[in-house]
Amino acid sequence: MNDMTTTTETTTPVLDAGGVTMRFGGLTAVRDVDLKVNAGEIVGLIGPNGAGKTTFFNCLTGLYVPTEGTVRYKGTVLPPKPHLVTQAGIARTFQNIRLFANMTVLENVLVGRHTRTKEGLWSALVRGPGFKKAEAASHARSMELLEFIGLQDKADHLARNLPYGDQRKLEIARALASDPGLLLLDEPTAGMNPQETRVTEELIFAIRDMGIAVLVIEHDMRFIFNLCDRVACLVQGEKLVEGTPSVVQGDERVVAAYLGTPFEADTPEKAEAPAPTEAPEPKAAPEAEAPAGTDGTAKGAEPVAETPGADKAQRTTSTEGEGQ
């Protein structure tokens, strides 16, 4: 954890996404989003389900080629190929865990070392001293990372047999193995219990302290506002607000977006602030939201029917079938 690219004092941001737009046919999932992440920062990306957060991540990492806009990493424009993006220094995790299920925990992390090693087929066949040294170094570094996330004792388990929380952590370790300068986390605490969430919080702080900037998507507001230096809120593909946690927290448009009711529609429940007892409300909300759908896409409407207080429930709905 020592030889990380430590924060340079230059003013170039680690990540500079400008005017990123992603259209799927008639649907504009991300619309003209600008976002900067500076060295040493933890930036949060929030927004209701279907807001385009995962799509934005995919645009950053080359899994999607954005329809418009550019993504710069430390000043250079990124090529739209996932493996080249990783090579450049951006690593990510997935909202729906995408581990190599039938590889061991250690092997998963070793795969993460791929871009930082270069032994090809020939050197594997010949097995010269260089190969052995590189393998040993990869093993050592991977074990170090497993210790960092606390999975060193499970190095020989199959990834698929890990508990859910451990799988999320392993994804982080695998991403860290590529020695990134920027780590993108897509809902890292989804499915975790409160205690695991707290551990993850510490983990992300520790990663930041290693000199790695972090951009994190989360629905757990307490988690996000504790963690982040800056938060951006995406609603229906557009960046609604960006600022310090307190600014975003107080912004009524954000509250409205999460409540799923237009500002002018004054349902009495909304005024009473989110109380956990308002179980029947989500039913009513989509109808209230529908006329407000500006570009006629009802896409973002259905999951918006959640309150910030009910982020637990929202997490479970958000895990199905979206994002890569």
Partner 1 sequence: MTTDTTKTAAVTTPAGTGSRTTGLRRLTALGGIATIAATFLSWTYTDEFPGDLTVYGYPGGLQVLTLVAGALVLLYALAALDIRGLRWLAPTGTTKALRFLALGAFGTTWFTVIAIAVELGGVVNLEPGGFVAAVASAIPLVAFLLPDDTRKASRPKEIPSWAEILIIVLAFGIGLFVVTYGIDTEYAELFTGYMITAGFAVGALFKSGIMARLSVLTTKYRSIAVAAAFVAAAAFPFTQNTDQYTLIAVNILIFATVALGLNIVVGLAGLLDLGYVAFLGVGAYTAALVSGTTASAFGVQFPFWASVLTGAAVSLIFGVVIGAPTLRLRGDYLAIVTLGFGEIFRITVGNLDGVSGPRVTNGPNGVPNIPDLVFFGYDFGESHTILGIELGGYANYYLLMLLAMILVVLVFSRAGSSRIGRAWVAIREDETAATAMGINGFRVKLIAFALGATLAGIAGTVQAHVQSTVVPEMYVFAGPVPPNSAFLLAAVILGGMGTISGPLIGATLLYMIPAKLQFLQDYQLLGFGLALILLMRFRPEGLIANRRAQLEYHETGQLDTPEGTLPDSGVGTVKAGA
Rounded Cα distance between 214 and 228, Å, is 9
* Residue found under tokens 């900067």: 36
The size of the chain, in residues, is 324
47 binds, among Mg ion, partner 1, ligand ADP, none (CB under 5 to 8 A by kind): ligand ADP
Minimum Å distance from CB 25 to ligand ADP?
7
Out of 14, 33, 42, 51, point to the residue binding ligand ADP (CB under 6 A).
51
Rounded Cα distance between 64 and 102, Å, is 26
* Residue found under tokens 């093993």: 139
**Residue 4 found at the interface with partner 1 (CB under 8 A):** no
- Indicate the residue among 26 and 120 with the shorter CB distance to partner 1: 120
**Residue 324 found at the interface with partner 1 (CB under 8 A):** yes
Q: Which two tokens stand for residue 193?
A: 């219990």
- Indicate the residue among 8 and 316 with the shorter CB distance to ligand ADP: 316
Long-range contacts of range 312-318, CB-CB < 8 Å, 24 or more positions apart?
314/49, 314/219, 315/187, 315/189, 315/190, 315/191, 315/219, 315/220, 316/191, 317/49, 318/49, 318/95, 318/187, 318/190, 318/219
50 binds, among Mg ion, ligand ADP, partner 1, none (CB under 5 to 8 A by kind): ligand ADP
Residues that bind Mg ion (CB under 5 A): 54, 95, 323
Residues that bind partner 1 (CB under 8 A): 61, 63, 81-83, 86-87, 91-92, 94, 98-104, 106-107, 110-115, 117, 119-121, 124-125, 127, 131, 134-135, 138-139, 154-158, 160-161, 174-175, 178, 324
